[in-house]
Amino acid sequence: MAQRVSHPEKTRMLSALKHRDFRNYWLGLAPSILAYQIVLMVAQPWLVYELTGSARDLGILGLASALPTLALNPLGGLIADKLDQRRLLALVQTVAAILFLAQALLVVFRVVEVWHIWAISLALSAVTAFDFPTRMTLMPRLVPRGDMTNAIALNTAVWQSSRIVGPPIGGFLIAKVGVASCFYLGTAGALAFVVAIALLRRVPAPTPTGPRRSWTGEMAEGLSYIRASGLIRGLMLLTFFNSFFGMSFIFLLPIYAKDILRAGPEGLGILYAASGAGALLSTLAVANMGNLRRPSTALVTSAVVSGLLTILFAFSVWYVPSLLLMFLTGAASAVYMVITMSTIQLAVADHLRGRVMGVFSSVWSMIPLGGAQAGFVASAISAPFAVALGGAAVTVSTLVIAARNHSIRSLGTAPGEASLADERP
Residue type, 385: F
157 has pLDDT over 80: yes
Cα–Cα distances (Å) from 416 to 14, 233, 299, in that order, read 22, 21, 15
Distance of CA 226 to the CA centre of its chain: 19
CA–CA distance, 88 with 130 (Å, rounded to integer): 8
pLDDT digits 0-9 by tens, 197-213: 999 887 655 555 555 66
How would residue 420 be classed by pLDDT, with cut points 50, 70 and 90?
very low
**Same fold? 18-145+164-203, 229-425:** yes
Hey, which CATH number is domain 18-145+164-203, 1.20.1250.20, 3.30.465.10, 3.30.70.270, 3.40.640.10?
1.20.1250.20
pLDDT digits 0-9 by tens, 299-322: 999 999 999 999 999 999 999 999
CATH 1.20.1250.20 holds for 229-425: yes
Q: Is residue 69 a contact partner of residue 126, using CB atoms and an 8 Å limit?
A: yes
Model confidence, pTM = 0.75
Residue type, 244: F
Which neighbouring-strand residues pair with 4?
A: 419
Q: What is the pLDDT of residue 85?
A: 86
Q: Hey, where are the domains in the chain?
A: 18-145+164-203, 229-425
Q: What angle do CA 367, 372, 375 make, to 5 degrees?
A: 120
382 Cβ neighbours under 8 A, 6+ residues apart: none
- The SS3 of residue 113 is coil
CA–CA distance, 26 with 21 (Å, rounded to integer): 9
pLDDT digits 0-9 by tens, 117-147: 999 999 999 998 899 888 888 888 888 877 8
Using CA atoms in the order 233, 238, 241, 242, what is the torsion angle rounded to 10 degrees? -130
23 Cβ neighbours under 8 A, 6+ residues apart: 17
Q: What is the pLDDT of residue 195?
A: 95
Q: Where are the alpha helices (DSSP H) in 109-202?
A: 114-138, 148-176, 180-198
